[in-house]
Amino acid sequence: MPSTTERVFVDGATLAVEQVGAGTSGLVYIPGWCCSRRDFLPVAQEMAGRASLLIDLPGQGESTSERRHWSLAQFGTAIADVVRRRHWDNVVLIGHSLGGAVGIEAAIALGSTALQVICLDALVYESFYAKQTEAFILDTLRPIEEDFAGFMQSLVHALFVDKDSALIDTVARTMAAAPVREALESQRTLLEWDRERSWTPLLWTGSDRRSGSHHWIWAGTSSYGRSHWRPRGRSRNFSVRNGRSGRLSPRLCRRCAQLPCGS
């Protein structure tokens, strides 16, 4: 399925945005830390009959940034701005790792335009998805800054469930090629995220839509273990779903992205 790519200027950044398929509703893919929108391209091309937007975050992939630092809310607002400018409605936000947290903030910014957030290996580790102290942040960033390429190699080899050595090496090289300053800043952004502040408004996002559906909000297991955090409320019409990624699977995404139930 052919795709088209354009540069979209938002406040503080120029984003690389790729659309697969025609339409004004569908799936919005948000890549993880130091990853590229094109990681999702094989998945999007498999989603026959559904339009997809693949968006590089500011300072990642082919997107550029004029700011030194972004908050998670600002990342989410940037994604929401792209969706609004294309006049999309009824969107499902699919985020990997950091992109899952960004997807939550984008859903808050989009309001009733967002139907679901599907999180792939996101919202799992307490140490990365809860607001941290400055001392913890500095301790976390120090080894990344001291040996960026070595850290990426170790990270990817440790986290991949699928031990495909060629795939692991490709992903590790891609992540290690990311600009170090932007990588450190986006990691700081995640560690500074106040998840609890974001959760309350998310519970009510889209609550006036799709009356009678069975959507609800949850964070489930990942490929790395059971989440330590569970939402404390439900929304009848909006859901956050957490899935296993490893190798991003068209079968996984086709199953999770079905509407109305998303299961």
Q: Put residue 97 in one of left, alpha, beta given phi > 0 → left and psi -120 to 50 → alpha.
A: left
Residue 66 has pLDDT above 80, yes or no: yes
Residue 148 has pLDDT above 70, yes or no: yes
69: which residues sit within 8 A by CB, 6+ positions away? 185, 188, 189
- At 22, is the secondary structure helix, strand, or coil? coil
Residue 1 has pLDDT above 80, yes or no: no
Torsion of CA 143, 147, 150, 155, to 10 degrees: 30
Whether 60 and 189 have beta carbons less than 8 Å apart is answered as no
Percent of the chain at pLDDT exceeding 90: 46
* CATH of region 3-132+192-256: 3.40.50.1820
Torsion of CA 192, 29, 62, 101, to 10 degrees: 0
Q: How far apart are CA 107 and CA 202, in angstroms?
A: 7
132: which residues sit within 8 A by CB, 6+ positions away? 140, 191, 192
Pair of tokens at residue 174: 């891609």
83: phi then psi, degrees, rounded to nearest 5: -60, -45
| CA-closest candidate to residue 53, choices 35, 75, 81, 30 | 30
Task: Kindly report which listed range (67-81, 117-131, 213-227) carries the lowest average pLDDT score.
Answer: 213-227
Whether 217 and 134 have beta carbons less than 8 Å apart is answered as no
> What is residue 127's predicted lDDT score, i.e. its pLDDT?
59
Any idea where the domains of the chain sit in the sequence?
Answer: 3-132+192-256
Pair of tokens at residue 16: 């690389």
